[in-house]
Amino acid sequence: MTRVCRLGLACLVALLALSACRGDETVTAYGAADKIWRLIEIDGASAPFEATLRFPGAGQIAGDAPCNSYSGAMTVPYPWFDAQEIVATQLACPDIDAETTYLAALTEMTLSEVLGDTLILSTAEGRKMVFKADG
């Protein structure tokens, strides 16, 4: 093995070790974990449907929309919010339009703020979702 190759391998190992030490920097690590967040307000009005949001582990979101359960990825550092790769079960129900509204709004959110039992998701354009923690 050449000296350059050994140095490159050593650098790669060091970089991997440093990234493993970083830990979770998402909203999960800043007060959102271990809670079920219930939507109470969307764009300044009381939520006309029931929906929940959870952070079951680093880089993960999950919850119940008006019809189906969903999950996805959320890996940006706090206070940013970026729901990605959302997948949902496929049950039909009369509230499917509300579900579409909820999941679309969730994917538009770009900022998060945890204030005790309140979670606020928002956009730079002024859209806002407010959740309250159960319990």
Residue pLDDT, tens place only, 101-125: 999 999 999 999 999 999 999 999 9
Give the pLDDT of residue 44. 96
CA distance 79 to 67: 29
Amino acid in position 116:
G
Are 30 and 113 in contact by the 8 Å Cβ rule? The answer is no
Contacts of 83 by beta carbon, 8 Å cutoff, 6+ apart: 61, 72, 73, 74, 106, 107, 109
CA distance 93 to 15: 49
Most confident of 29-33, 90-94, 101-105: 101-105
Q: What global pTM score does this model have?
A: 0.80
CA distance 51 to 120: 14
- Torsion angle of the four alpha carbons 11, 16, 18, 24, in this order, in degrees rounded to the nearest 10: 160
**How many CA within 13 A on the CB side of residue 118?**
9
Q: What is the pLDDT of residues 54-90, one digit of tens each?
A: 999 989 999 999 999 999 999 999 999 999 999 999 9
Query: Hey, CA dihedral for 27, 28, 32, 36, is it positive or negative?
Result: positive
Q: What is the pLDDT of residues 13-29, one digit of tens each?
A: 443 333 344 467 899 88
